[in-house]
């Protein structure tokens, strides 16, 4: 790819920006700094490996958590410590293990509370 300079980023940063699991990317991607132009090109016209990773996984924890409707901490409490494929995520959603049901409920309660607090702060700001 390219040599490091002020306009390049580590592969881990580029993978995070592309929403892909770094260990599942090609070796060349993992071993070389990525320039902003290269990242923009990957985003504009993703190569087949990137399309496949985004579709089938394995997916990074933040995407796994989002697809399951739980927090990243909820994944850990449920024993999910590795990246999951789309197939594995779909299987969990179909099986609905107890931990997943409990974590989804807990996560929804947290989101409701966050919205309530945000609205409360907005009301106080409006009064001031």
pTM check: above 0.95: no
Question: What confidence score (pLDDT) does residue 2 get?
Answer: 47
- CB within 8 A of 119, min separation 6: which ones? none
Question: 127 falls in which pLDDT band (50, 70, 90)?
Answer: confident
Question: What's the whole-number mean pLDDT along residues 7-17?
Answer: 92
54: tokens are 């985004």
Task: Enumerate the β-bridge partners of residue 87.
Answer: none
Does the pLDDT of residue 4 top 60, yes or no?
no
Backbone angles phi, psi at 119, to 5 degrees: -65, -40
Question: What confidence score (pLDDT) does residue 90 get?
Answer: 96
pLDDT digits (tens, 9 = 90+) for 41-50: 999 999 999 9
Tell me how far apart the alpha carbons of residues 126 and 43 are, in angstroms, rounded to a whole number: 40
């Amino acid at each position: 790819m390219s040599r490091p300079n002020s306009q390049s980023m580590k592969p881990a940063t580029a993978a995070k920006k592309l929403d892909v699991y770094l260990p599942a990317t090609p070796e060349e991607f993992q071993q070389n700094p990525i320039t902003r132009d290269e990242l923009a090109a990957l985003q504009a016209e993703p190569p087949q490996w990137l399309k496949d990773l985004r579709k089938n996984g394995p997916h990074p924890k933040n995407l796994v958590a989002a697809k399951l409707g739980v927090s990243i901490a909820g994944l850990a409490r449920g024993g999910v410590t590795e990246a999951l494929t789309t197939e594995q995520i779909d299987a969990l959603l179909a099986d609905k293990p107890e931990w997943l049901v409990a974590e989804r409920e807990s996560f929804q309660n947290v989101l409701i509370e966050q919205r309530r607090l945000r609205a409360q702060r907005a009301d106080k700001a409006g009064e001031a």
